[in-house]
Structure 1
């Protein structure tokens, strides 16, 4: 029988990979798509470890590439479940790149993957709740909860997940402050 709650530390995953020339783009930096693929893999492992189920990526919230990653750097991804819903989990991922010759470590990017637990037939299944043990985990949980609320609010306001028609006229005044030319 699965536990009703699991501590955040149970889901923590850390992986490292040396960046090779085959991972680079035309400018010689590590291709963002390669980093995204690695992030998706670590999010899957983290969410599956917490839920005990196969997990799929439902969404990715804001991936901002802060600093380029060079060929020859060691990339380390640190992930943990920050928030759980009924069948979903938000996995926070921090990406660091280390120059293995100098030891300099830089924070490359962070992102949040929403993962959903599935059973063998592909139906969503409930996941254990989260036990938070320190103020950092509480902060991460609340930030993810607010992010989820914001996404839900945005969907409701702009017509996704509702049957209401979007009314442009309600936003004409707000649109005046943007560099936008309306030709409706």
Structure 2
């Protein structure tokens, strides 16, 4: 399978922050941002694999600066690293004040997607070729993040073994 350039999976979406999307601090609800992050990341994963994909994990979302109602928010996503059937997607979130034109890094996120065949089972994905310094740095550090993801998932499965599942009306 022929590797693809990172730029082939790049997606940019700009979103206007509306009043009904803000909390009592006049900042964008984190959940709305996370929905948009998952959306652009899934498009990047599909562009890279040209298959159906599923979100395997939201590895991290780091909120760095608030996004205000007076802002536009741009989300840029791309594939940074690939495993056999999985793809790591990086999303950078940039807020821009419409009045001043000031731009700031509002958040960053890493997500993992798995490529699915017609039978719904995981299938191999192409490798990725980084070109820019940013892409190369993210690619070089991708394998270490993958090891951390695998360990975290193992711990989550172990924890799920002893977590009680109850009905809300039962005590």
TM score, norm. by length of structure 1: 0.79
Secondary structure of 2:75's aligned partner: strand
- In the alignment, which residue of structure 1 is the partner of 2:19? 21
- Taking only aligned residues, the RMSD between alpha carbons, in angstroms, comes to 1.8
Going from structure 1 to structure 2, the CA distance change for 1:103 and 1:36 (only over 3 Å counts) comes to same
Provide the rounded CA distance (Å) in 1 between the counterparts of 2:152 and 2:58. 16
- In the alignment, which residue of structure 2 is the partner of 1:126? 124
- In the alignment, which residue of structure 1 is the partner of 2:46? 48
1:75 is aligned to 2:47: no
Aligned to 1:116, which of 102, 114, 117? 114
Provide the rounded CA distance (Å) in 1 between the counterparts of 2:85 and 2:124. 4
Q: How far has the Cα of 1:145 moved from its partner? A: 1.0
Higher normalized strand content (fraction of residues): 2
Q: How far has the Cα of 1:54 moved from its partner? A: 1.3
- In the alignment, which residue of structure 2 is the partner of 1:8? 6
Secondary structure of 1:40's aligned partner: helix
Once the two structures are superposed, residues 150-174 of structure 1 have per-residue CA deviations (whole angstroms, 9 ceiling, x without a partner) of 3334566x5957xxxxxxxxxxxxx
Whose radius of gyration is greater, 1 or 2?
1
Provide the rounded CA distance (Å) in 2 between the counterparts of 1:151 and 1:44. 18
Q: How far has the Cα of 1:52 moved from its partner? A: 0.2
Once the two structures are superposed, residues 17-68 of structure 1 have per-residue CA deviations (whole angstroms, 9 ceiling, x without a partner) of 1000111123321100000000000000000000001111111122121111
Secondary structure of 2:141's aligned partner: helix
1:86-97 paired onto structure 2 within 5 Å? 86-97=84-95
- In the alignment, which residue of structure 2 is the partner of 1:33? 31
Q: How many residues align?
A: 158
Instruction: Give structure 1 regions of 4+ aligned residues with deviation exceeding 4 angstroms.
Output: 153-156, 158-161
Question: What 5-or-longer segments of structure 2 have no aligned partner?
Answer: 159-171
Provide the rounded CA distance (Å) in 2 between the counterparts of 1:92 and 1:11. 11
Secondary structure of 1:63's aligned partner: strand
8 A contact 2:27–2:67 mirrored in 1: yes
